[in-house]
Amino acid sequence: MSEMTIDTAGAEPVAGRDAMSSAALTRLCSLSDVSEDLPYRAEVGDMAWAVFQAGDMYYVIADQCTHGPGLMSDGYLDGCDLECPFHQGRFDIRTGVPTSPPCEVPMAVWKPIVRDDAIYIDASSPLRV
């Protein structure tokens, strides 16, 4: 089984075995579902995530903006700034921290794990809540 962990801080992918078992991971999408031009909205149960690609990096953030009804999967990624389509507030996609008003409450983000041509997360362990 090939596996690659993508570091959300922007470092190069780290090859190797992840400490989490497959049972602890939630599959969000295939790598082919997301591209730099087209984010992917992943819905599992009652939760939704926005999956973005920037170069060879992948990012996962909660799909619902903390400021209003905007869906982040409909947003615009400019470098590391993710713009919400509702009020054009921005968040750092790596950390979920607001970078531009009117957004003030941080977004939850997850560390994506690339395994077997798919993107997974540990849904119970967001990096920021």
Q: Are 40 and 34 in contact (CB under 8 A)?
A: yes
Structural domains counted in the chain: 1
Mean of the pLDDT values across residues 93-103?
A: 95
Q: Is residue 129 part of a domain?
A: no
Say if residue 32's pLDDT is above 90.
yes
Q: Is residue 54 part of a domain?
A: yes
Q: How far apart are the two ends of the chain, measured CA to CA in Å?
A: 31
Q: Is residue 45 part of a domain?
A: yes
Assign residue 107 the CATH number of its domain. Answer: 2.102.10.10
CA 64 to CA 84: how far, in whole Å?
Answer: 9
Q: Is residue 128 part of a domain?
A: no
Within 8 A by CB and 6+ apart from 36, the residues are 53, 54, 55
Q: Residue 113 belongs to what domain range?
A: 3-121
Q: Is residue 52 part of a domain?
A: yes
Mean of the pLDDT values across residues 79-85?
A: 95
Q: What is the DSSP letter of 6?
A: P
Q: Mean pLDDT of all residues in the chain?
A: 85
Please tell me whether the overall predicted TM-score, pTM, comes out greater than 0.85 for this model: no
CA 71 to CA 49: how far, in whole Å?
Answer: 9
Residue 21: pLDDT band with limits 50, 70, 90: low
Phi, psi of 29 (to 5 degrees): -170, 170
Q: Is residue 48 part of a domain?
A: yes
